Structure 1
Amino acid sequence: MSAFARHRRSKRVIATFTGFEADLLRSLASQLVELLRNEAAVPDDDRDPLEAMMDFSGPTTAPEDPVLARLFPTAYTDDEEAAGDFRRFTEGSLRDSKAAAACTIIDTLEEAGLPPELDEDGLMIDVELEHDTATAWLRSFADVRLALATRLEVEDGDEDYWLSLPEDDPRSQAHDIYEWVGYLQETLVDALSH
């Protein structure tokens, strides 16, 4: 199983992934980008002139998708107007930031040699991350884990449930991916702190 470590000489964060692991990471990051960017734009006709000039065109209501609702929680649960204003001014840039972090994973893996279509089972991909790139990976791992946990309805203390599922159950396999991304996140934090 792959893990991140700090390179002794360069002080960069390094990891080696199998082709399958690298392709899985790219797929997870791509799905996150698609989810983050798949929203209906506010029609120009309906925009406030000041809003159009300042480009504060973000949404004012919480997303319907449960994953997006977890990624962008309501800031003021007791004040709907303040919550809408906060969301309108912040959610667009937050979406862009989260999508950019996920794209960093995709770009890094492709720069490291992951072909667009993986066709070699024995392929190994080495990544070497500068601090800023490693931080982007870390932020994206948190978003991917939150998305998976939301879709799977993972809760604190439900480990026995996940262990009771047959190995060939798709939910068990998805939970294994959730756990694996958590392991990568943990080793990346450790590598960055040394």
Structure 2
Amino acid sequence: MKLYPSSSAFAQLEFGGTEKAIVARVVSDTITLLDSRSDSESTDPLAKLVGIEDRERPTDPALLRLLPDADPENPEASAEFRRYTENDIREGKIANLQTILFTLSKTSPAEIGRDEAHAWMIGLTDVRLVISSRLGIVTEDDMQQLYDREDDLDGNDSALLSIYDFLSWVQERFTELFMNQLDGDSE
């Protein structure tokens, strides 16, 4: 995958078939995770219509990383916050991930605008949070321990770690483009 500045757009993104398939798969899986909530049994149809619903705290650690408690010390406040915000947060995250899928559907090299690049950065963060949760990465020490025993990882964890590294690299390229543009704007 190559990402570089473009004279007619924010950037151009080139991707090979395998890279495209891997990114599309993990992005689609994250969309499914975000969209797999159980339908709430709201007794107030108006509240449900405007997106104010009682929501259960996610039991899946990866989903909880994407939708954390507002106040871990106060379950009631977290539940109230979740009630008023979770639908919008889910929809925003899914929209960013769908932007990534849309970009991947373009012919390579694909020209992407600043808003698309921003959606990629946010969406990649969400995908990386899911993968890090699946790998048990919470701290930098956890990450180092994974690298230290990389040869002993099973096939799934090894593949996830490689995908995590690749997505981190892609996200770093987007960050560099944004930083370079900021440096250019300040001149």
- TM-score normalised by the shorter chain: which range applies? 0.7 to 0.9
Q: Does residue 129 of the first structure (1) align with residue 112 of the second (2)?
A: yes
Once the two structures are TM-superposed, the CA of residue 169 in structure 1 deviates from its matched residue by 3.5
Corresponding letter in the other structure for 1:39: R
What is the percentage of aligned positions where both structures have the same residue? 28
CA distance in 2, matches of 1:153, 1:127: 34
1:57–1:89: 8 Å Cα contact kept in structure 2? Answer: yes
Corresponding residue pairs, total: 177
Equivalent in 156, 162, 186 of residue 176 of structure 1: 162
* Change over 3 Å in CA distance of 1:55–1:147 after alignment to 2: closer
Q: Does residue 97 of the first structure (1) align with residue 92 of the second (2)?
A: yes
CA distance in 2, matches of 1:135, 1:58: 31
1:58–1:91: 8 Å Cα contact kept in structure 2? Answer: no
* Change over 3 Å in CA distance of 1:167–1:3 after alignment to 2: farther
Deviates more, 1:78-87 or 1:21-30: 78-87
Q: Greater helix share, 1 or 2?
A: 2
Deviates more, 1:141-150 or 1:125-134: 125-134
Structure 1 match to 2:125: 142
List gaps (5 residues or longer) in structure 2: 181-187
Once the two structures are TM-superposed, the CA of residue 84 in structure 1 deviates from its matched residue by 0.8
Q: Does residue 86 of the first structure (1) align with residue 60 of the second (2)?
A: no
Q: Does residue 6 of the first structure (1) align with residue 5 of the second (2)?
A: yes
Corresponding letter in the other structure for 2:3: F
CA distance in 2, matches of 1:77, 1:127: 42
* Change over 3 Å in CA distance of 1:15–1:167 after alignment to 2: farther
CA distance in 2, matches of 1:187, 1:91: 30
Equivalent in 61, 64, 76 of residue 69 of structure 1: 64
Q: Secondary structure at the match of 2:14?
A: strand
* Change over 3 Å in CA distance of 1:14–1:165 after alignment to 2: same
Once the two structures are TM-superposed, the CA of residue 42 in structure 1 deviates from its matched residue by 1.1
TM-score, length-scaled by structure 2: 0.86
2:9–2:112: 8 Å Cα contact kept in structure 1? Answer: no
Corresponding letter in the other structure for 2:92: S
CA distance in 2, matches of 1:53, 1:17: 40
Please list, as runs of the form range in 1=range in 2, the aligned pairs for 1:99-118 lying within 5 A after superposition: 99-110=94-105, 112-113=106-107
Structure 2 match to 1:166: 151
RMSD: 1.9
Corresponding letter in the other structure for 1:161: L
CA deviation string 1:72-129 (max 9, x = no partner): 110022222221110011111100111111111111111x13xxxxxxxxxxx32221
Corresponding letter in the other structure for 2:37: E
TM-score, length-scaled by structure 1: 0.83
CA distance in 2, matches of 1:184, 1:82: 36
Corresponding letter in the other structure for 1:162: Y
Q: Secondary structure at the match of 1:25?
A: helix
**Runs ≥4 residues deviating over 4 A:** none
CA distance in 1, matches of 2:34, 2:116: 20
CA distance in 1, matches of 2:147, 2:87: 35
